[in-house]
Chain A
Amino acid sequence: MAAAEAHSAHPQTTTGLDHRKLLMWAFLGSDCLFFGSLIATYLLYRGKGLVGPHPADVFNIPFTSVSAFVLLMSSLTMVLALAAIQRGDQRGLKIWLLATALLGSVFLGGQYFEFTVFIHEGLTLQSNLFGSTFFTLTGFHGLHVTVGVIILMSFYVMALRNRVTPEQHLNIELAGLYWHFVDIVWIVIFTVVYLVEAPNIV
């Protein structure tokens, strides 16, 4: 009944699909191209640097693996937040939204720590080709995660004020789509940038 009321509140569309969700998918499809260009640039210049530090000198695979696991688990908490609001569970929504934002913050903290260690070891944006392409790629991903955490905390504050109703679950779903996209981009970066270098690390 509530869902039917919510649907009737939407303007009719030619596709039968909500245009906000369609727009989000169009954005995510275009964001693939953005990250694709950064990944391509990293791959093109991989191993071309004449001066160090090189990836094998600075990467800490176990540490980054934990970060990857944390971001992966944040996708679970995000989808649980959506499931909670869809069944009208306000308490569950608040818990899982906060958990997702916290896990995202832990990931960002790990990235800040990693960047700090790298800079301490002489790898900066200007030091060599690896530094330029690595910091640009992972930095833009971190920026996406930061935007995601801000969106999640905004919804958490709204939920605390009981301003997220089950009829508005699409808003949470759209935030979730963005968050999961950030997660799958990291799945690619983790493999292409980090794991392929692991055999070179003694």
Chain B
Amino acid sequence: MATPGAGHEASHPSPAKYAAIAVILSVITAVEVWVVYVEALAGVLLPILAVLSITKFALVGMFYMHLKFDSRLFSAMFVGGIVLTVGIIIALMGLFQVFVD
């Protein structure tokens, strides 16, 4: 059996990199709030918000939760939960006929 090292496969980012990611997250949040008030983007608002939200989610998961650097088993457990969650949401919405006009 192996000796556990908490799952670290590579060194974590430096505090400066953490701060840089926080700046990116802040900018994305500002863009999110800005786009909802732009009437010209009303038709494509949902895809834009989805992309921005998923980007923030991924940045926090990869760098702050260290999934990019840790064992892939941790990623599998978390992403597995997310996939199940999205599946349940879609199934429930289908059951309630949300996708039917």
Residues of A within 8 A of B (CB): 7-8, 10-19, 21-22, 25-26, 28-33, 35-37, 39-41, 43-44, 61-62, 65, 68-69, 72-73, 75-76, 78-80, 82-83, 86, 170, 173, 176-177, 180-181, 183-184, 187-188, 190-191, 195-196, 198-199
Contacts and interface: CB of A to CB of B under 8 A. Distances in A.
A10 B22 contact: no
B78 to A, nearest CB: 5
A16 B8 CA distance: 10
Nearest to B19: A76
Interface string B1-43: 1111111000010110011011001100100110011010010
Contacts of B33: 61-62, 65, 195, 198
Contacts of B64: 75-76, 78-79, 176, 180, 183
Given A29-B77, A198-B36, 10 more contacts: A7-B3, A13-B4, A28-B77, A29-B80, A29-B81, A33-B81, A62-B33, A83-B14, A191-B52, A195-B32
Contacts of B56: 72, 184, 187
A126 to B, nearest CB: 22
B85 A191 contact: no
A165 to B, nearest CB: 15
25 contacts: A10-B4, A13-B4, A14-B1, A15-B2, A16-B1, A16-B2, A17-B7, A18-B5, A19-B4, A21-B74, A22-B77, A29-B80, A29-B81, A36-B89, A43-B98, A44-B96, A44-B98, A68-B29, A69-B26, A75-B25, A76-B22, A83-B12, A176-B64, A183-B60, A198-B33
**Main secondary structure on A side of the interface with B:** helix
A180 B36 CA distance: 25
A163 to B, nearest CB: 20
**Main secondary structure on B side of the interface with A:** helix
Nearest to B5: A7
B93 A44 contact: yes
Interface string B41-74: 0100110011011001100110111100001011
A69 B29 contact: yes
A173 to B, nearest CB: 7
Contacts of B50: 191
A16 B3 contact: yes
A187 B57 contact: yes
A112 B25 CA distance: 25
A180 B95 CA distance: 32
